[in-house]
Structure 1
Amino acid sequence: MSLEDKSHEGLASSAKGLGEENLDRLQQGLQQIARAHGRMQDLLDAVLLISRELDLNLVLHKIIDTARQLVDARYAALGVLGPDGEFKDLITSGFGADLTARLGGTLPHGTGLLGALVRDPRPLRVQDLAHHPQAAGFPEGHPPMSTLLGVPIRVRSTVYGNLYLADKTSGGAFTDDDEAVVTALASAAGVAIENARLYDRLRQATEEFQRRLLPEVPRLDGLELHAYYQPSTEAPRVGGDWYDFIRLPDRVPCLMLGDVMGHGVPAATVMSQISNMLRVIAFDQQEPPSRILHRLDTVLHELHGGPMATVIIARLEPEGTGRRLRWASAGHLPPLLVTPGHEAAYLHVDTGLPLGVDPDVPRRDHEQHLPAGTTVLLHTDGLVEQRGASLDAGMAEAVGIAATRVGEPLPDLVDALIQARAGTFEDDVALLGARIIPSPEESN
């Protein structure tokens, strides 16, 4: 046998020996690396997921859902702490997620293990809850749990709350790796919670600022007036819808309402420009409404490049015992009229083009007599828009509600229209209503 043959034989023998003794260990090591890499990728995905959210409620629910999935736990909860260190909320996920509801909203008292984590905010692992010396037991009706992993969530230097996970679906206790992954998630959760809270404060300040731009509705003889504004329930909760009311130099009440194309602070800025400009022009031009819209469109083109918006402007001129509604529209939804005879209908006419399209296109005036007791409603499309349904269907629903509520006070009629959306608005809503009050002689 040559030297080369002996060398090959030796290498083959070494490889055979390596495979027999260490192949299983090597395979296990590779599997551990793969699992660690997969868990790290899951953690990164979870961090990105919660970081994208700005709604605090959604952030909190995604934190517990992702934590439970990362460590394969059957149950997860996030106990939110108040400034006094007491539990003020408990959000749950997984098996027994309806715990709070079933227990009548009972929150932990902080006397057992959960309280220990509050007093000493460091990761806590318990392998046998029933026999732990600090365990205070579970309230009646609580689902059984045997193991626990608790990790504090900090927002800046303050403990915002604690993340609890119980009972791995595969059985056994929580591991060092489980604790490391959840601790890392808790660190990212603190940043996400702080961002959501900052955004919420900014949103509230912006929404309050926008509401302050809207005028108070005055009291006028012969008219009942009511206004309503509701920002979209989806971020950003600020936009370009507005309403306005002025009494012109000839003492005729004038209703104005509009909707700037787009959302967010840019739309709110344009809204402020248009509403202020419209108020001045309406007061100066007085009538007819079509001339006011034409002048407004021209000035907006000259000064601001012609921003897109829909606007409706309406005069309520005295006429006998009622009023004459004289209005013009720039691409806006028509007025919704509700008569004392429980009849409701939109006054469908040529609405014309929105502002910002062509300032030279003529606009038309429209008229309608309003008997005493009649209600006229102007609103933006957010009131009748609903995902998965046509605008016509939303308008038909509004007509039906208005017809059945005509005898109720005007605020109650408006509330009924708002509540039909079940608290969810895909767009801002501005609404301005006027009811012709019968004279005392007519009421008797």
Structure 2
Amino acid sequence: MVMSTPAEHPGTLAFDMGGDPLANADPRMRFTFDFVREISRQTDAQRLLHLFRDRFGQFTPRDRTVSLSRRELSSPWYRITRCTDWKEDINPWTQKDRLPLLSSGLLGELLYAGVPVVNDDWRPDPADPAYEYLEGMRSIVAIPLFDGGESINMVVMMARSPGRFDVSRLPDLMMTSNLVGRATQTLILAAEVRKAHEALDAEVRRIGELQRALLPATLPAIPGVGVATYYAAAARAGGDYFDFFDLGGDRWGLLIGDVSGHGPSAAVVMAITRTLLHAFCRDEHHPSAILGYLNERLLEQADRYPNTFVTLFYGEFDARARTIRYASAGHNPPILMRGGRSLIELNAAQSLPLGLFPDAKYADAADRLDPGDNLLLYTDGITEAMNPQGEMYGRERLLECLRQPEFSAQAVIDCITMRLEGFTEGRPPSDDRTMVALRIRE
């Protein structure tokens, strides 16, 4: 790397970037540049230490290196975690049971002293417990490695001839060895976090599979009505819910709900809500009574799931009379499009979400459904979906698909999902998205 100070710009440096910019650099600068760049590429702690051992030997000649650790041990016990004379590469994190466990002796004294040491004219004691690691060596340098402010590990470099180690380089050795040690610990922690995340993700995935199994497996065969649904969770598990109940006599319960938040906790509350509904909806109850019952039961769970609530719309559709009686607990009003011409929102029975207020009251309302009408139930993950510019999809875009008088229930769903995908440019949903569409046929 050639650097110069241009006369017209004193105090600035000009770099000759042609070819190798470090071709003329000091060897130590070149070594440091290459070394730190290689460190940044490492994702495995064992490979990082191999890199350190191989590269560092270029500037710190030695005949043997031994690594020690007293982690989870008490004086005078310690483990040999690495030795350059070993024929087999033992991973100290995954194969700790294979590491030699020793007591006392020179290496133990150095490790528990926890200070840097250089001895350039030394002979090992044949009675030392670690003599096989010391035999034939005459120079030694010990570098403590700190973790949490304590000297837990140590690198011991040795040479066969006296005076091989430069005492003036000890501060650099201390700094470099400890920085590499910290980088190693970071990689180990990253691997542990990654492993824990994978296990958690697998568990959440299983929760999501169980949750989806609670949703209707088939669409109901309602006389004179076409039915279509759409469901997409923002996470592995979600809090949106839809369902159908055969009440007999061509009467059907229609439900859509949204648990606050998403993920495992929302999925659990959704499962609780479903269980309560399936136990209560089979009997003769008005929609308002069903919501009141759900509110009471969910309030009983409030301590276990704080700050969690459910918005829910429940309607009872009579296929013979073509009427729907409904009640809503803070949910988006379903949209009824009459023949693609006039718009009606089923908002005459709006009340508070479930699981928040003990004194919440719920009422019923009713409307008719005529041939050619399209009814859409949806969660706010549809209308609140955003494009990359931060603009919401909104209700008006939703209505464009409902205004097509010839559209079947499935065509309405397909139209919305296709336009939503284009609007969001394929970005994954930040909230669960659910729709239930009904088309009243002639």
TM-score, normalising length: structure 1: 0.53
Please list every run of 5 or more consecutive structure 2 residues that lacks an aligned counterpart in the other structure. 1-21, 46-183
1:435 and 2:433 correspond = no
Distance 1:47 1:346, change over 3 A: farther
Letter in 1 for 2:298: L
Corresponding residue of 2:215: 214
Cα displacement string for residues 116-163 of structure 1 (whole angstroms, at most 9, x for unaligned residues): xxxxxxxxxxxxxxxxxxxxxxxxxxxxxxxxxxxxxxxxxxxxxxxx
Which one of 283, 293, 296 corresponds to residue 294 of structure 2?
A: 296
Residue 282 (structure 1) aligned with residue 284 (structure 2): no
Q: Which residue of 2 aligns with 1:224?
A: 226
Q: Distance in 2 between matches of 1:437 and 1:332?
A: 26
* 1:196/1:266 CA distance change after superposition, 3 Å: closer
Are the equivalent residues in 2 in contact too, given 1:248–1:286 (CA < 8 A)?
no
Q: Map 1:254-273 to 2 at 5 A.
A: 254-273=253-272
Letter in 2 for 1:32: R
Match for residue 329 of structure 1?
A: 328
Partners in 2 of 1:227 and 1:413 — Cα distance? Answer: 10
More helix by share: 1
What is residue 318 of structure 2 aligned with on the other side? 317
- Structure 1 residues 237 and 345, CA, compared in 2 at 3 Å: closer, same or farther? farther
Question: For residue 223 of structure 2, what is the amino acid of its counterpart?
Answer: D
Query: Deviation digits for residues 369-420 of structure 1, max 9, x if unmatched?
Result: 22122121111111222235566x511110112213x312211211111112
Contact 1:257 1:312 in 2 (8 A): yes
Cα distance in structure 2, aligned partners of 1:240 and 1:399: 24
Distance 1:192 1:334 in 2: 43
Which residue identity is paired with 2:354?
A: L
Aligned mates of 1:304, 1:283 — CA distance in 2: 25
Give 3-state SS (helix, strand or coil) of 1:239's partner.
Answer: coil
SS at match of 2:372: coil
For 1:400 and 1:336, the matched residues in 2 are separated by: 12
The aligned counterpart of 1:31 is 29
Contact 2:408–2:439, Cα closer than 8 Å, also in 1: no
1-side partners of 2:360 and 2:201: how far apart? 43
How far did residue 363 of structure 1 move?
1.9
Aligned ranges 1:182-197 → 2 under 5 Å: none
- Whole-Å separation in 2 of the counterparts to 1:304 and 1:193: 33
The separation in 2 between residues aligned to 1:371 and 1:205, in whole angstroms, is: 42
| 1:308 counterpart residue number | 309
User: 2 CA distance for matches of 1:342 and 1:25?
Assistant: 77
- The separation in 1 between residues aligned to 2:300 and 2:192, in whole angstroms, is 46
Within the alignment, does 1:395 sit opposite 2:395 as a pair? yes
Contact 1:248 1:283 in 2 (8 A): yes
Q: Alpha carbons of 1:399 and 1:192: their partners in 2 closer, same or farther (altered >3 Å)?
A: same
Match of 1:107 in 2: none
The structure that has the greater radius of gyration is 2
In 2, the alpha carbon distance for the partners of 1:25 and 1:247 equals: 80
User: Quick one: distance in 2 between partners of 1:27 and 1:271?
Assistant: 65
The number of aligned residues is 269
Q: Which amino acid aligns with 1:401?
A: C
Name the aligned partner's letter for residue 309 of structure 2: M
Code of the residue aligned with 2:232 in structure 1: it is: Q
* SS of alignment partner, residue 283 of structure 2: helix
| Secondary structure in structure 2 of the residue aligned to 1:421 | helix
Quick one: distance in 2 between partners of 1:400 and 1:194?
A: 46
1:385 & 1:280 partners in 2: Cα distance? 32
Deviation at 1:202, TM superposition (A): 6.1
Contact 1:330 1:351 in 2 (8 A): yes
User: Deviation at 1:428?
Assistant: 1.4
1:13-162 → structure 2 map (5 Å cutoff): 28-36=26-34, 38-40=36-38, 42-43=40-41
CA distance in 1, matches of 2:292, 2:317: 20
Q: Which blocks of at least 5 consecutive residues in structure 1 are unaligned?
A: 1-23, 49-183, 439-444
Q: What aligned pairs does 1:342-361 form with structure 2 within 5 A after superposition?
A: 342-349=341-348, 351-361=350-360
Task: Give yes or no for contact 1:294–1:359 (8 Å, CA) kept in 2.
Answer: no
SS in 1 for 2:282: helix
Matches of 1:203 and 1:303 in 2, distance apart? 21
Deviations 1:258-290 (A, max 9, x none): 111122122111111101212322223521x12
- Aligned with 1:267: secondary structure? helix
Cα 1:295–1:199 shift into 2, 3 Å:
closer
Distance in 2 (CA, whole Å) between partners of 1:341 and 1:402 is 7
SS of the residue 2:376 aligns to: strand
**Are the aligned partners of 2:223 and 2:250 in contact in 1 as well (CA < 8 Å)?**
no
How many percent of aligned residue pairs carry the same amino acid? 28
